[in-house]
Structure 1
Amino acid sequence: MRSIAGLWRWRRNPLCRSTDRVEGWLTLSAVLLITLATPAAAVWGGRAAHQALLETARDQYRQRYQVWATVAETAPPPTSDPEPDSGYRVAATWTAADGRTHTGTVTTDRAAEPGDRLRVWTDARGHLTSRPMDAAGALSHAVLAGIGTAGVAAGLVETVRRLAVRRLMARRYARWEEEWARVGPDWGRADRAN
């Protein structure tokens, strides 16, 4: 609300100081920058993040391999209630892209019996890894990056405006002190000469 009130200080007014006009123009400029530049910063940040994330996804698809794993044995049921998204843990064996056989614990989204086959993602050495990022995941992360960029841009504009207004206020108070030092000693004296 104070920003909106500051917009009207730029009008001509005989009681308006030069610092009041500068503060009004600063506020108007900040509102225009936040209104126009923040969406542009969001688009720029979102596009840059999207390109970087798509490149990361392409790298992950080049460096990760989906292979078949055979369930060797199921893990004992947990003693406490598992988390809803934790899945089932099974011991499995798989052959990596380099031809070596590996054994490890695999988490699946369904119950599996010994002998069942599952698809797992591995790196070049055959170690289990997460699924590569897909285009939808890259897009959702890019949207969040764009929103974050917009927030940072708006915060930066508002911070600069506030710092400038603080300096204007300091200058305004210094001038008041000078005026008071000049007029103050004679204030209220009846024998004061005009």
Structure 2
Amino acid sequence: METKTRFIETATRLFAERGYYGVSIAAVANELALTKQALLHHFGSKEKLYGEVLQTISNRLMEDMSRIVQASENPREGFEACLMYFYDALQSRPDDTLVLMRELLDNKQRAENAKTWYLKPFLDSLCDMALAASPKRLKNQAQAFVVVYQILGAMKYFLVSEPTLVQMFGSKNWKAFTEHYEPELRALIAARLD
């Protein structure tokens, strides 16, 4: 595995577990068996390392979305396929899910000073896709954004709740929940487009 990739994956895991404010450059360096100075040499600051984590997640999502859209027969099929891909990606990469949730929830102080919004292109693309998928229902970018955000929020909230719901209801019930979730998610997407 490439060195930078290993650094970013380790940082992603730590930011997912502890949030932006709970992770220091020293903690990431320690996990990687590096000195703090060696890690700073690669990224310059904790903010830049965190930016690389967000950029990596965004790039992966954008590349996969582009591939899915190109393979789709129409805008609606492409939009639905991208959302279902995103749901699968969040399941298979739980650290990404937590980082994205923490970015929304823990970002109050940093938001005022942010110069780059790494996930904005991803959200903009999904909004454009929603508009193309449902031009009769969605009349403007604001409506499309709300629909996209509701659907993404439903996915992320469900997936980050797994540890609590497993403890609360048991593994067998969680398995049943997940079996029923995907068809309900598809129904939610269809309802928001019709």
TM exceeding 0.5: no
Q: Which has the higher contact order (CA 8 A, sep 6+)?
A: 1
Q: In which range does the TM-score fall when normalised by the shorter chain?
A: under 0.3
Which of the two has higher C-alpha Rg? 1
**Which is richer in helix?**
2
Q: TM-score, normalised by structure 1?
A: 0.25
Q: TM-score, normalised by structure 2?
A: 0.25
